[in-house]
Chains A and B, each alone.
Chain A
Amino acid sequence: MKQITLDIRSLHVYYDSFHAVNNVSMTILEHTITSIIGPSGCGKSSFLRVMNRMNDLVPHARIMGEVLFRGANIYAKDMCEIELRRRIGMVFQKPNPFPFSIFDNVAFGLRIQKKHNKTFLRERVEESLRRAALWDEVYDRLHQSALELSGGQQQRLCIARALAIYPDILLMDEPCASLDPKATKRIEELLEKLKEEITIVIVTHNMQQARRISDYVAFFHTGELVEWGTSEDIFDHPQKQLTKEYTQGLFG
């Protein structure tokens, strides 16, 4: 039986008076890929940003309910959001490498933890780029600007950058939205491999993608969690009519 990594209990997210996430309860199991699906504006990105407290940075965002990370409430007073974000990494919709070299991008998270030992950094950068399946393409140009990479390479660089500080969970907000099918496939293969080491929660618009890679799927609609379960449950035997219609592409 897999361990529960994140336990979300009666979560609500408001932006001013807008109720973006409405009473969501679900759990995320260790070493699995959980996909969050649903039409635009259904609250799935908001839901994702709650889990590493990136929502703290959104003005007027308000959160109710509990999110337990390995049993500890991440919104408790003594929880440090800086520390939390080092344990729960995030990859964004648009690849966002810093305008530095490839090496400096991957080393960024380590350097802000005051880890400056050169040998250590070199080893960890190589290891992270290998884990993100990017090493073979960039090993001879680590000191060139990351902005010269292709979109797919940039996204894998962002994954490497997140992996470099050994997070337990990786949150991904539509990581393939701006990529072509080939680059998307590479990322999907990468995620399959990564889940042996870490837990992945991915927001996606792409039903086929969710079906291909997920162990668990959660379907959101207008801020509510309509249904969640294993990939087969949601795609082959949905309990709710709404889920069935959405997964069959009747609305989107």
Chain B
Amino acid sequence: MSVSKSNERLIQWTFALCGAVSIFVTLGIFAVLFWETFHFFQEVPLGAFLFGTKWTPLFVQKQFGILPLISGTLLIALIAMIIALPLGISIAIFLREYASSHLRRTLKPILEILAGIPTIVYGYFALLTVTPFLQKVIPELAGFNALSPGIVMGIMILPLSVSLSDDAIHAVPEHLRMGAYALGAKRLEVVFRVVLPAAMSGIVSAGILSISRAIGETMLVTIAAGMRPLLTLNPLGPVQTITAYIVQVSLGDTPTGTLEYSSIFAVATVLFLCTFFLNTIAQRLRQSFQHMYA
């Protein structure tokens, strides 16, 4: 009796410990991130960091204006969204509203294969296949550019965007569709005038989560976008994203404790705050959406 009771307690503590590990690791990451960022801002003024237009931490003339990295990150994320969102929503509509259940069961796993491809493969695909192909169409396209990894990233996050849009469309109750059909609506009208508007907050949430995924993506942009932190919205030339910069410094021979070294923590904090903010909004939207049809 008492043996089984103490066993019970042992098991309980083991599980609690496992849970605690994940919390402590997260807190540890936060602590390092914020500590190094704090160091960085003791030497670089916040204003110069947030509003500076030159990012040259590895040059003799060091400048720490993050705007070029932000513009590079957003430019590629934007291109990815232009591909992933319309395509993702259309595929989700097709799978949910038009495809037979047999076709849906066949297509979905195929789509999910896309999610299983390592991102480095996407990187080489962008650099060695998509860029040369695009250069035939747009001769002025640079070898490293924002356009090609942007497009490939759009394809890469397509499974996510499809699956989240699909969830949103699936969550629209069947009786709303029936209500529209009973009023003499055609299938296209049911989809565009009832299902999509009713799923809108879920779809917006899907879009935000996809953006969040896009700005955090690293390997693809490191390989194919070039390493030039330029403040530009020109998709044809090279750019550098926040993540690619972190890779560049981490792989280089930058000594720890230097300003360049702590700069990667500062930009990582910016990245973290952005994705945290986006994920929170998306979460809120999802909850309000689920609440609506509860």
Most buried by A among B178, B180, B184, B186: B184
Expressed in whole angstroms, the Cα–Cα distance for A165 and B193 within the complex equals 17
Name the interface residues of B176-206: CB closer than 8 Å to any CB of A. 176, 178-186, 189, 193-194, 197-198
B103: min CB distance to chain A, Å? 13
Instruction: Report yes or no: A108 in contact with B182, Cβ–Cβ below 8 A.
Output: no
B interface footprint on A54-91 (CB within 8 Å = 1, 0 otherwise) = 10010000000000000000000000001101100110
> B interface, by DSSP: helix, strand, loop or mixed?
helix
Q: Which of A82, A96, A112, A113 contacts B173 (CB 8 A)?
A: A96
What is the interface size of chain B, counting residues whose CB is below 8 A from a CB of the partner?
A: 18
Partner of A112, one of B176, B185, B197: B185
Of all chain A residues, the one with the shortest Cβ separation from B198 is A99
Query: Which A residues touch B182, using CB under 8 A?
Result: 52, 54, 85, 89-90, 92, 162
How far is A89 from B197 in the complex, measured between Cα atoms in Å?
A: 23
A57 touches B183 (CB 8 A): no
**Any chain B CB within 8 A of the CB of A158?**
yes
In the complex, which residue of chain A has the Cβ closest to the Cβ of B189? A112
Chain A CB within 8 A of B25 CB? no
B179: which of A82, A96, A111, A165 is its contact (CB, 8 Å)? A96
Tell me if A109 counts as interface (CB < 8 A to partner B).
yes
Q: Is B9 an interface residue (CB 8 A)?
A: no
Judge whether A98 and B184 touch: CB under 8 Å: no
Given A52-B182, A108-B180, A165-B184, 12 new contacts (CB under 8 A)? A54-B182, A57-B181, A85-B182, A90-B182, A92-B178, A98-B197, A108-B193, A111-B193, A112-B185, A113-B184, A161-B183, A162-B183
Residue numbers of B with Cβ under 8 A of A are 173, 175-176, 178-186, 189, 193-194, 197-198, 292
Which residues on A are within 8 Å of B, measured CB to CB? 52, 54, 57, 82-83, 85-86, 89-90, 92, 94, 96-100, 108-109, 111-113, 147, 158, 161-162, 165
Minimum-distance CB pairs A-B, first 5: A86-B184, A90-B182, A109-B183, A96-B175, A96-B179
